Structure 1
């Protein structure tokens, strides 16, 4: 017994040391604001690296920085003042495709190959009931676009030439739709790609489902999720995948932004089945992205990060955002965009 007592202080010291080291290694997350502009809403953002980033939004606005956000160049599309560019996908500081969302002909696609000095309209929606929601690219050539249902089925376009031309996936190849089910043009991230062939898109409204393709959008399967649904303002607003199997879905009710109810779900089988994360308790969130080893999410009431695959979340110091983009250079440069022209970079210390 005496020997045991003599070792107790040493054991306690060891525990204190381990706890101190653990605390000292805990990282801090904050947003560094690099752009603001009143009355400008930016829902599109595409990061290349820590220096180069594109953003897009209302009034036909397109912005570009090549110096890490110190200065921004106005690369807006001429004559597009009436368009709301809700998604942008860039390949480098010269080449980008931007998408406007809107009813009928207001849904359009433009491409630049000279850093936004000039733009070419590459596609305009021809469906009266159509409404573009998001675009995503697997590589510089192959991409996919999702729009609201046409004739009762989710509308999908694909490109194999870098966005210069787009072709429709025949509606009969798409799963049956549900009346009142659609996608949200909230952040350009309810549609996400992974690897060389995989993509997922989330829906909302009457149903909150995930549609999956493993062949670059040629065929799709649909899968139920436990994310809140049933009203026009509810559903999945964003998806992010760590690999071909593990993914996180976020959403909620944009009319009840502070309601933390059925807003986060995870999958471990590539989107076939989804489990609600009850302990997450996140408010409505419009975006989630994966920046290894973290999932990062944001919405009108704030932003959070998760280091355990989306099970628990910790707040990030700073303001609110609509969308997030992770750089393509492997350095995990994370940029965010939001209302009042806000653009920020994530700082991890």
Structure 2
């Protein structure tokens, strides 16, 4: 019986990590740092450094276009979309919100944040009529710019951030949502989850066991399957090999978090994405030094690539992912 159990365990372990990289192809090379991408019309859309915004076609990488949203060398780390437009906000003050037409790439500035502390870490559409952008703040309060039914404003709240608590504009993924909730992840000396309930517009704040205490530590990215299951990843960008308490999952909508794979993962991670239609089992994670995969809801991880320089990722379908980062966009096909 023990031998049978051991055999089954080993067999399941092999089966769990049986995926292989079928191909890994770079489809865009450019002098740019990309930390935000969107998929639309079979194209990868991106924003980045030097005011650059553009796309590359997934089926025909020679079909691509790039424009500059400003004559200034703005740095974009956010990108979001609704039905007809893309939106991007630059980091640093003044923060300008650009609205870009999907059909002809004409653009205009639709909102400006003049505050000295403006630094937009993530931009996220909940629906065509509702979006939030998360910024650093001047006065230790939670700062969310909100787009609702065509109007821009700041979301009114009384949430105070702890001393040294901020956020990381690492991959445009420290915001996630369902129809019921919006989650925002903070990092630094305090790394917490802030959950907005759309029904009553109340925000609950939950502590996490993710590594924190230094300005370089905390949660960098979150993703949620539904109102219950979510995952948070991060670490310390000054110690990228460190892998203690840098991955956690929740099964109750973000109230309680459990550390996963502490000491047994590839280290500092900037983006995490749950595979669609996998019921939260299959997850990809990327950091500057690795690409990793989990098939058991984040409990265990396998490093599937040592490719460096990627900051953000997104599933295209059940076997294909796109990665972007320093000077490149690449597509990976997995074979299961």
Which residue of 262, 282, 286 corresponds with 2:266?
282
Larger Rg over CA atoms: 1
1:128 aligns with 2:116: yes
Aligned length: 323
Q: Name stretches of at least 5 consecutive residues in structure 2 with no aligned partner.
A: none
Relative to structure 1, is the Cα distance of residues 167 and 84 closer, same or farther in structure 2, using a 3 angstrom cutoff? same
RMSD across aligned positions (CA): 2.7
Q: For the Cα contact (< 8 Å) 1:137–1:144, is it kept in 2?
A: yes
Cα deviation, 1:309-331, whole Å, max 9, x if unaligned, reads 1011112236231011234xx76
In structure 1, the residue matched to 2:312 is 323
TM-score after normalising by structure 2: 0.87
Normalising by structure 1, report the TM-score.
0.84
Task: Provide the residue aligned with 1:118 in structure 2.
Answer: 106
* CA-CA distance at 1:332 after TM superposition: 7.0
1:298 and 2:282 correspond: no
Match of 1:344 among 327, 330, 336: 330
Say which of 231, 234, 239 aligns to 2:222.
Answer: 239
Deviation at 1:116, TM superposition (A): 5.3
Contact kept in structure 1, 2:78 and 2:120, CA below 8 Å: no
Cα deviations by residue, 1:197-222 (Å, 9 ceiling, x for unpaired): 32111111110111111218933111
Aligned-partner SS, 2:29: coil
SS of residue in 1 equivalent to 2:305 = coil
2:170 is aligned, of 168, 172, 186, to 186
Separation (CA, whole Å) in 1 of partners of 2:22 and 2:305: 4
Q: Is the 8 A contact 1:47 1:333 kept in 2?
A: no
For the 8 Å contact 2:28–2:61, the answer to whether it is kept is: no
- The alignment partner of 1:270 has SS state of coil
Q: C-alpha offsets along residues 162-186 of structure 1, whole Å, 9 cap, x if unaligned? A: xx5421012xx23221111111111
Aligned CA distance change for structure 1 residues 283 and 127 (closer, same or farther; 3 Å)? same
Q: Secondary structure at the match of 2:213?
A: coil
Query: Partners in 1 of 2:23 and 2:213 — Cα distance?
Result: 34
Structure 1 residue ranges without an equivalent (≥5) = 1-11
Distance 2:305 2:164 in 1: 37
How far did 1:339 drift? 0.6
